[in-house]
Amino acid sequence: MKRSEIIEKVNSFLIEEFEAELEGVSFEANFHEALELDSLDYVDLVVLVEHTFGFKMKGEEFKSIHSFNDFYDFINSSIQVHQNV
Amino acid sequence: MNRVVITGFGVYSCIGKNTDEVTKSLYDGVSGIGLDKKRKEYGYRSGLTGMVDRPDLKKQLKRRQRIGLGEQGEYAYMATLEALLHARIDLDFLDNNEVGILYGNDSCAKAVIEANDVVREKRDTAMVGSGSIFQSMNSTVTMNLSTIFKLKGINFTISGACASGSHSIGMGYLLIKQGLQKQVICGGAQEVNFYAMGSFDAIGAFSTREMEPQLASRPFDRDRDGLVPSGGAATVILESLESAKKRGAKIYGEVIGYGFSSNGGHISKPDVDGPVRSLSMALEQSNIQASEVDYINAHATSTPLGDQNEARAIHEVFGSKPFVTSTKSMTGHECWMAGASEIVYSLIMMKNSFVAPNINLENPDEDSRKLNIPTKPKETEINAFLSNSFGFGGTNSSLVIRKYYP
């Protein structure tokens, strides 16, 4: 999957399911702050990632994600890992 | 002791999505019953049910407020929003006062089953998401509404089977009467879906008159063959008279009696003594004579034995004078919600000076013949009414409400 497709899919579920307003939000913006995530939201993000990309991420993996770019990269690398398994 | 008054009410049911719609349906004797084919496919003996549309709350509530709200919570939100508007209580007031909530609910079948279906399929609880737990607990309505409306007073759910909604109003009444709360949001909610009622259907309690859904709920009629499950939510705002006066609130009625009892007998078979004790207690507390009760909203669910026993109990205490109807002839049995919705239906009648018809009563039986049961709307003043609610396990609740006299 191309990175642009990943960005499109992630943004789509953030807008539809999280009702996020992403207009004007840069890829470098803080992922957690821009989305005003609380502890319960991560539980739902794990479900959305599984539904959309077919792999289960762990809650603690969010600790290494700071920006939107980090999140897209994480999805990208995870897809590749799962494809290679 | 404080006097306890009602300053607002709201309802979301199969005969209307607000009090205006419900008022018209009550007067016109409209049935909200239909046939749910999904229930038949699922294995129900009877697919009859009250038909209730789910509200779309996307524009009204934020995601986090919405996803923990189960089906019955959505109905309760709609009914409570209307009741608060009616009472002219806004979010600012709720944020700055210790307003409580006591709500009746006794199941969360859909949320529990759907969550477990996900776990069984995925073999991973993490796939359930964060909203499910708040939809799955019996206290789903109070936990959600208390956060949505920023409530700071008493906050818990009352599970008393089909008397849950009535007991919630009774308990709110006691708290305000004793001066422990000034305002309490009380009500009852009932989910309407094919997961919720399967085990109830299993004991053969439901009418099977599927060819004529709107004729199926026929309380007090000789040919009744069981109840029709239904649901939605209803809310009343209880308030101390002092608080209502201070706010300049309009007063729709005064709660003057709450009676309760337990049959101490069979788990599902109703009796006469328990209800007699409950309604006698409510009446005694209210300090009015039986002859002063103009209208009785009966629990009568359209089951052969239940209606017969209640007719006997009512006749024993009240004789043949007061008007008696079961609004379940139109709504079906709204179960956990019924005790609250039937207070709202009766308040609507008291406010608009009519008694709604007991539809589908074509041939009264030996016991109901002794009661004054109108089958057409009756224009009449109601100064005081009594509402009965009975539930499995023999739990009984009776409330007496009167017009407010300063």
Look up residue B53 and give its amino acid: D
Q: What is the mean pLDDT of residues A24-30?
A: 94
pLDDT exceeds cutoff 80 at B156: yes
- The mean per-residue pLDDT over the stretch B281-298 comes to 96
Q: Which of A43, A50, A56 sits opposite B130 (nearest CB)?
A: A43
Q: Is the Cβ of B127 closer than 8 Å to some Cβ of chain A? A: yes
Residue A10 confidence (pLDDT) above 90 = yes
Do B222 and B278 lie in one domain? The reply is no
Inter-chain residue contact A41 with B130, CB threshold 8 Å = yes
Active-site annotation holds for B108:
no
Confidence of residue A82 (pLDDT cuts 50, 70, 90): confident
The 8-class DSSP code of residue B38 comes to H
Residue linked to tokens 């309490």? B184
Residues of B in contact with A19 (CB under 8 A): 62-63
Q: B213 and B270 share a domain?
A: no
ipTM over 0.95: no
Q: pLDDT, tens digit, for every residue of B40-66?
A: 999 999 999 999 999 999 999 999 999
Chain B's closest residue to A38, CA to CA, is B64
If you count residue pairs, one on A and one on B, with CB atoms under 8 Å apart, how many are there? 26
Cα–Cα distance, B348 to B380 (Å, whole number): 13
Do B180 and B128 share a structural domain? yes
Looking up residue B307, the CATH number of its domain turns out to be: 3.40.47.10
On whether any CB of chain A is under 8 Å from the CB of B126, the answer is yes
* Local confidence band at B100 (pLDDT 50, 70, 90 cut-offs): very high
Of A18, A19, A43, which has the smallest distance from its Cβ to B129's Cβ? A43
Domain boundaries, chain A: 3-84
Q: Exposed, middle or buried: residue A8 (CB in 10 Å: 0-12, 13-18, 19+)?
A: exposed
The token pair at A81 is: 């890992």
Q: Which residues in chain A have their CB less than 8 angstroms from residue B130's CB?
A: 40-41, 43-44
Cα separation, B126 vs A58, whole angstroms: 9
Return d(Cα B284, Cα A12) in angstroms, integer: 63
Give the confidence band of B158 by pLDDT, cuts at 50, 70, 90: very high
Give the pLDDT of residue B207.
98
The boundaries of the domain holding residue B100 are: 4-247
For range B270-281, the mean pLDDT? 91
Instruction: Inform me whether the pLDDT recorded for A84 exceeds 80.
Output: no
Section B84-111 average pLDDT: 98
pLDDT tens-digit readout, B242-257: 999 999 999 999 999 9
Question: Could you report the per-residue pLDDT of B320-330, keeping only the tens digit for each?
Answer: 999 999 999 99
**For residue B53, is it within any domain?**
yes
Which residue is listed with tokens 């709660």? B255
CATH fold of A3-84 reads 1.10.1200
Closest residue in chain B to residue A37, using alpha carbons only: B64
Same domain, B70 and B142: yes
B162 included as an active-site residue: yes
Those residues whose C-beta lies under 8 Å from the C-beta of residue B190, and which sit 6 or more positions away, are B72, B75, B105, B230, B231, B232, B233, B334, B335, B336, B337, B338
The pLDDT value recorded for residue A83 is: 74
As given in the structure block, the two tokens for residue A80 are: 């590749």
Residue A20 identity (one-letter amino acid): A
Given B162, B167, B186, B335, the catalytic residue = B162
At B306 the pLDDT is 93
Taking the alpha carbons at both ends of chain B, their separation in whole angstroms is 16
- Residue after which a domain boundary falls, among B193, B212, B247: B247
**Mean pLDDT computed over B313-321:** 93
B239 domain-assigned: yes
